[in-house]
Structure 1
């Protein structure tokens, strides 16, 4: 490493040109394939992916199941448009508002385009749900149901507008979904071909909405919208907040080192490191995901840290040598080993994320680790090269004024006092540390694991505003799907025959019990189930024809039983199953997290009511399979017969219950899952009914759980590796353990604070442990390595501490201030993950620095005899 820095100092132009050309080449390799995809062979264009579904690998069972169910039930991701009117006493149910809503719906049907592959993208018009595209269901006479468009044409007057509301509120499938709970707002549900087209769809909708001049408020939300919008805005964020952070870092370094021209060098290192890392990520075919979009923000502080150590030491030592080469040689000799090991430990910390089961987190960890190594290489080469390219006369008045001693500044005086305090008050400091650890433990126990893509935006962002507005008025805009499946065991002919005879024998119908032995003796005559049932039907019909008036009813019931027997495989025509579903829906509604649910049971009950002239008492599940089948056949006469297959498969063996949640928080979805499990446990389901989940809201829970467990495993593994590295570095287990203490304290305090302030444990917070591991150990390595070297020059720790709290402590403090304060501009970001990262990068750096400058010297004071045992023995000898 020293040789590499020396080579860069002797050939500075070569290294500067090489880094510049490498950066330019990577930019070209990213830009050209992105502008002209497919024109550059194997080179990959820039690809953006903000889909949380891709936090799971493609072969993850829950993801495979999710996609299969979407296909089975013909479901698509949706853009939700809510229309609210605060001025009109009837809300949007006035002539003007409904005319605009009708116009917007017609326009939405036309939002389609051809992508580069020639495939149609946009809104799937046939499944669009709006007042003008859904059916009103009402009686058409005795035993007849009439289906007509709820709002076929815009209302001609206020009375027609109110009539539309009354009709919609009478249909459970629409009330609380299309029409708000208070009856004054409307929601449009626009299924889209793919999640990544939602941003374009929303922009087109906004252009149409801009043409309306009424008092209506249009709110657009939905998980696909949030995810796609985040993808667009995160690039804006990267282009604004990151440069602002670097500007503040630059100004702080200018304040410390006085030379504008000199402090440009860390900026160059950070810029080249970021370009190199992101360039490699793109040209290797990796997508820029939510996680990888934060790579520059993680690389920049790490890239600047070592540069500040070099500049700080150079600033302090230059007045002694008055020669750049000699000063650099001294600086690199002092810092080479600490910088190498801090680089390795930081790379290990982030590289450990490759062990998590989350693909985007793996990519994030690997490329931050690569970026860390790049930053180290550019630091030890470009900083010396840059210094050597500066004219010697620029350093005439450069450096710390040693003539006034090292205590000539506020920082120096403070650190000197701190050094004395850590020696005299070592035990008090450790008592306080133990108290803080206790408080932190209380906070850790309060941590709540939770995430919600909509909450990635600031509270005043239009998506958050829309989310609040619609979930206040409607049953919920977050969809979760519960799949119910009947007993899937398929019996062969022999098994079917055996079960048939058993069911006939145990039935409460005497004719069937009478026929059972006869049928049992003739089952060999049938070649399949259908033929066997035909034989049985023929036998029952023969008996029915010859039956006396007394026995006729019994044989007639036996014939109905036989005719419906094969249909028993159609689980979701069973009234008992449908009643069970209705009971589950009522149970969830009572619990409060599910705003509303829709299922096949609601379809059956609604149509059954209208078959009985709209009698409220008929809003129930009919008592027989035949009656259920009649309601379903009737429903298929509507304008939207395909809607039935959103709730049940054509073989009626699998059904889908739609749950609308007012919250997309993982903890709420997890609570609903627990509620369903509890219901199935307390209420045994008929016909071997089983359940499972799919939908984006549920997938978010799964990848979050995987991230938590994966991050914990990765951290434990990397902690052990770093401990081993520290032991090797210091050639002592005791010093290795000592180096890990600031890390353990920092992580404990950070997560304790998170729990105490009620901050959710979300995606950005989950990766902070890796950042903590890298940065907290950085300060500890520098402090301990310099302390051990300086101890060789002094007789005891008391005098050594005075020297350690000179230049080494100043370098650490400058780092803490520059990078800790430098990333505060991220607090102004409109994207919450960037705010979180900004806050906690600063908190980690400050806390790790404070821990290294207080806990470590206090522990060295307490265990001085053990830590310096070998050195004391040498001194005695």
Structure 2
């Protein structure tokens, strides 16, 4: 797994670097836009290490991806603006100053909004999720400072920059690409009512489908395809009823009690559950020993001749304790959560009818299953809280509740669309998918803030709604397209991984990023045209 992870990281970075070279038209510009986010990730890991914070698996794997994507997006906006200022004839210092004046505040707003969204994860009951949210929130702010501090310095280094100086580069309607963009945005503006109506209906429909989405997790998804471990797990499920054990612990007060009849009742409870394997207990061991009569307690002396290390796992008369062991298959956490609830309910009834006996469920499968189920629910609820926090932050940042509400649909649409597809095909909401949603919510909010900032800036300059949307679409749209393509190619290489977990994460992340681009470039302008009348 470590080798494959490193291999796909290298492939992803190489593909991203090649595309960045194409979009930014030079090695120097590519380094200017990619180096600050990379340094921001290093600063974050170093800062967390300096404060003796131990990074969990989510923070180690997912957090660097999130911070790199967010930092790269903000850096790309500044570098594209820097190139435009150089093209019109400004010197490096003046061009960088103007770029930071125009985009410094939007980048700060996007960083604060995204950090606040991640901070909402800290209220989760699961330590893994709360620590992950805290690390990402801190890392987002550190990466923002890395971009703001380092990018201007790199841009002012005395290194030759390849910048095309042709006059057609700054004309809105000269190039074929810009003509296509103008045709698209004018179509959106002209049909804003239809675009908004369709997007609202789809968002509501996707939200309804998403309500059927169930959290789940499979052990097999964390193992490579056709690996020895995966094949062993499948064979164990088929032949042994699974490898994950559930222990039903029985304790009694009196030394004179005979626990065998009670153990038999527990076995009957287990046998009623079709998803559990055949129970193993001391009663079964006694039943297999030679003897006459149905009273198994008469065979108790024979247990002394059996290996005590094996018997002690099932029966400890010295401490009045016995254990019934059953196993579960890798059918998913969601399948067994109701089973655990029924077992506990029946054991509670058994305890009431047999005073002096106590029962409890134990075993890694029970604890892990409940922990994962709670963790997934925490992340799903925190994701909803993050959406509300982003709404509040955008409303405060732009001093307009109307603008905040307008941004809600573009931010939620990609998440609900991909979640609806999962629900439609009855795919579970696993941990890696929720992580992908968390990443993409931050990116979608970041893109929306940059578009809104440019749009409101153009309106302050005296342009009407239509012209402000056209300029914003051209200036911000090309950056969003470039960054999305680079991120998709960087992530897309992981689609060929042998780990189902990595493939699921990547496919959902790529689909959500693509849908977020459509939402920010089509739905958001249509909403602004329809509802922003000031």
**Superposed pair shares fold, TM > 0.5:** yes
Which position in structure 1 is the counterpart of 2:196?
Answer: 430
Name the SS of the counterpart of 2:272 in structure 1: helix
Q: Tell whether 2:207 aligns with 1:441.
A: yes
Which position in structure 1 is the counterpart of 2:59?
Answer: 292
TM alignment of 1:189-588, pairs within 5 A: 233-234=1-2, 236-294=3-61, 295-392=63-160, 394-395=161-162, 397-398=163-164, 401-402=167-168, 405-409=171-175, 411-486=177-252, 567-568=255-256, 570=257, 573-588=258-273
Distance 2:353 2:104 in 1: 71
Alignment deviations for residues 210-231 of structure 1 (CA, whole Å, 9 cap, x no partner): xxxxxxxxxxxxxxxxxxxxxx
Which position in structure 2 is the counterpart of 1:838?
Answer: 506
> Structure 1 residue 271: deviation in Å?
2.3
Distance change in 2, residues 1:815/1:595 (3 Å): same
> Structure 1 residue 603: deviation in Å?
2.0
Counterpart contact for 1:582–1:601, Cα < 8 Å: no
Q: Greater RCO between the two (CA within 8 Å, min separation 6)?
A: 2
> Structure 1 residue 675: deviation in Å?
4.1
- The number of aligned residues is 532
Q: Tell whether 2:330 aligns with 1:660.
A: no
> Structure 1 residue 822: deviation in Å?
2.4
> Structure 1 residue 322: deviation in Å?
4.0
TM alignment of 1:671-710, pairs within 5 A: 671-677=338-344, 679-680=346-347, 686-688=353-355, 689-710=357-378
Relative to total residues, which structure has the larger helix share, 1 or 2? 2
> Structure 1 residue 687: deviation in Å?
1.1
Name the SS of the counterpart of 1:597 in structure 2: coil
Looking at CA atoms only, which structure, 1 or 2, has the larger radius of gyration? 1
**Aligned Cα root-mean-square deviation (Å):** 2.6
> Structure 1 residue 598: deviation in Å?
0.5
TM alignment of 1:175-190, pairs within 5 A: none
Counterpart contact for 1:316–1:807, Cα < 8 Å: no
> Structure 1 residue 304: deviation in Å?
0.7
Equivalent of 1:604, from 286, 289, 293?
A: 286
- Structure 1 unpaired stretches of 5+: 1-232, 489-565, 613-617, 869-877
TM alignment of 1:161-176, pairs within 5 A: none
TM-score, structure 1 as length reference:
0.57
> Structure 1 residue 320: deviation in Å?
0.7
Distance 1:690 1:742 in 2: 54
- Structure 2 unpaired stretches of 5+: none
Which position in structure 2 is the counterpart of 1:550?
Answer: none
> Structure 1 residue 457: deviation in Å?
2.1
Distance change in 2, residues 1:698/1:409 (3 Å): farther
Name the SS of the counterpart of 1:660 in structure 2: strand
Alignment deviations for residues 798-836 of structure 1 (CA, whole Å, 9 cap, x no partner): 222222222122122222222233211122333343333
**Displaced runs of 4+ in structure 1, greater than 6 A?**
681-685
Distance 1:391 1:642 in 2: 73
Distance change in 2, residues 1:719/1:848 (3 Å): same
Distance change in 2, residues 1:682/1:371 (3 Å): closer
Name the SS of the counterpart of 1:479 in structure 2: strand
